[in-house]
Chains A and B, each alone.
Chain A
Amino acid sequence: MVNDKMSKLDRLEEAINEDILAMTPDEIFEEAKADGEDTAAFAQRMNAWLEAAIVEANTARLRGAREALEQDREQSKANIVQLKPRDRQARPDSFVPDTMAARNGKKLSERDKEALDEDFNELFDDDAWDDDQDDTNK
């Protein structure tokens, strides 16, 4: 079937390409020699170029890999979200820590003292007791 997208020249190019691919290198070699081509000089030029090209391509690939790594690192940095530290409020001067550790495990805390005072006040508050109750105990 004809490929309509191909131009006449494309078809010609493909037909010749197929022919060359189907030939063995030795057949081509014979033909090239017969056509007066300097095959040895071409091979020599290409091999010399190839040697230098491999070094250049290795360097380029290494450079590319380094750049990709750098880019990756930059990307990783961008993914880390820095949290803004909360504003710390200064403690009032009157602040005294009221923890067991601060009291060294010995003294009563101010809160404990206040609670004790409250209990004593209630205990010794005469008005808090009912007189009849006293009578029944007699």
Chain B
Amino acid sequence: MDQATSQRQFHSVDEFKAALSLTEAEWAKMRRLARNRCRVGRPGEEEEVLQDAIFRVLEGRRRWPKGLNLFAFLSGVMKSIVSEESKIGFRRNVDRGIDEVIDTVSEETSAEKLVLETEVVAHVMALFEGDDEAEALAEGTMDGWEKSDLLSLFDGDVTRYETVRKRFRRKMNAHQELKSMINGE
């Protein structure tokens, strides 16, 4: 990509720096986004992950596409940071074949992920025990229901839906370390 095309499609690092003159309220919003991204993969590390995301852009390793909101952009970068797989070391003269090692690790990782997800989902649902509306919203959201489907849970009452959704979001925000809860760390 030539320089002119790049300038048309992406903000410069200087533009990014200028946009980071955030207010207290905007930093609070960034923190909420970070906490949401870190909940399962890197619980309790929201500040580090947010800083890592910003630093990657400052260094020029990630570029901010024009037309994309700064919050949405950094949230996406944080998502990718959290989902980065841990590096797998290949031990020379110990591991026979790299393919064999990758297969074993991949199988173990997938199985581990599945167990973790099941446990986290169970804990999320437990958070809303006794709150039928929030429980139904959580289930519907996790099953991938569209907004129109979720609204039907509240007989199309948008206000009730928004209220429950807010309650649900705030409760989730308060429980930022689901993985730690499960592992008892």
Contacts and interface: CB of A to CB of B under 8 A. Distances in A.
* Interface footprint category on B: 35 or more
Interface in A19-48: 19-21, 23, 25-26, 28-29, 31-32, 35, 37, 39-40, 42-43, 45-47
Given A6-B144, A21-B75, A40 B24 contact: yes
A17 B33 CA distance: 6
A49 interface: yes
A16 B35 CA distance: 10
B123 to A, nearest CB: 11
Interface string B47-91: 100110011001110000000010110010001000000000000
A43 B59 contact: no
Interface of A (DSSP majority class): helix
Interface in B20-54: 20, 22-33, 36-37, 39-40, 47, 50-51, 54
Contacts of A53: 51, 54-55, 58
A132 B180 CA distance: 134
B111 interface: no
Contacts of A133: none
Contacts of A106: none
B4 interface: no
B124 interface: yes
A60 B58 CA distance: 10
A3 interface: yes
Contacts, number: 118
Contact of B141 (A12, A28, A35, A50): A12
B41 to A, nearest CB: 10
A35 B144 contact: no
B29 A35 contact: no
Given A25-B23, A39-B28, A53-B54, A11 B144 contact: yes
Given A8-B143, A9-B142, A39-B24, A31 B55 contact: no
A25 B26 contact: yes
A102 to B, nearest CB: 60
B142 A37 contact: no
A46 B27 contact: yes
A112 interface: no
Interface stretch (B94-102, B151-159, B164-172): B164-172
A73 interface: no
Given A29-B29, A35-B173, A37-B28, 8 more contacts: A8-B121, A8-B142, A20-B169, A25-B28, A43-B22, A49-B51, A53-B55, A53-B58
Nearest 7 A-B pairs (CB), nearest first?
Answer: A2-B144, A57-B58, A29-B25, A25-B25, A8-B142, A43-B27, A43-B24
